[in-house]
Amino acid sequence: MNSTLRNAAVGMAIAALGFSTSASAATATATAQANILTSLSVTATDALLDFGTIANSGVGGNVTVNASTGARTCTPGLVCTAGAPGVATFHVAGESGLPVAISFTNQTIQLQSGANVLPLTLASQYSTLVLGPTGNDFNVGGTLTLATNQAAGVYSGQLEVVVVYN
């Protein structure tokens, strides 16, 4: 019995050595935080990207409305005629002083006139910009690619801009 008690006492002493005592414990703290940004909003202030009227001599080509200047250019074989071309303009608002990235849901869209299509590759005036206190405006232009003997008609389609904090 003595040896059983002695073995139990030795076991408890060894077990006690394995546990930490409050004299050897250490703690530290940290702060957790989150900065929730103002939601971004984007609205079309001039919702028409207008290429005006174009005459095709049967060879096809490109018509570009410059996103920065609104100027329209036609490649040889096309004639930029009547109409007042212009960019689509958007206003974005959010957290002042922070950068945002501007892109499109689809960089190339199809304008349609009945069963006929006309590809439009979109271009933004800026790929990124820093938001001012009341937000910022940006323009969207693009390039139409007319096929040889593109069918006559009024072509239209929808474009969608995407703005995210960068």
pLDDT of residue 15: 52
The CB density around residue 14, as the number of other CB atoms within 10 Å, is 9
Query: Whole-angstrom Cα distance, residue 37 to residue 98?
Result: 10
Query: Whole-angstrom Cα distance, residue 75 to residue 146?
Result: 10
Query: Whole-angstrom Cα distance, residue 125 to residue 121?
Result: 13
State the CATH class of domain 35-165: mainly beta
Residues facing 56 on adjacent strands: 78
Confidence of residue 23 (pLDDT cuts 50, 70, 90): confident
- pLDDT digit string (tens) for 68-121? 999 999 999 899 987 889 999 999 999 999 999 999 999 999 999 999 999 999
pLDDT of residue 18: 56
- pLDDT digit string (tens) for 26-73? 999 999 999 999 999 999 999 999 999 999 888 999 999 999 999 999
pLDDT of residue 83: 80
- pLDDT digit string (tens) for 113-162? 999 999 999 999 999 999 999 999 999 999 999 999 999 999 999 999 99
Written as one letter, the residue type at 118 is L
pLDDT of residue 151: 95
Residues 54, 78 contacting (CB under 8 angstroms): yes
pTM of the model: 0.81
Q: Which residue in 68, 164, 71, 165 sits closest to 124, CA to CA?
A: 68
Those residues with Cβ within 8 angstroms of residue 104's Cβ, 6 or more apart along the chain or in another chain? 122, 124, 159, 160, 161, 162
pLDDT of residue 58: 87
pLDDT of residue 5: 47
Give the three-class secondary structure for 121.
strand
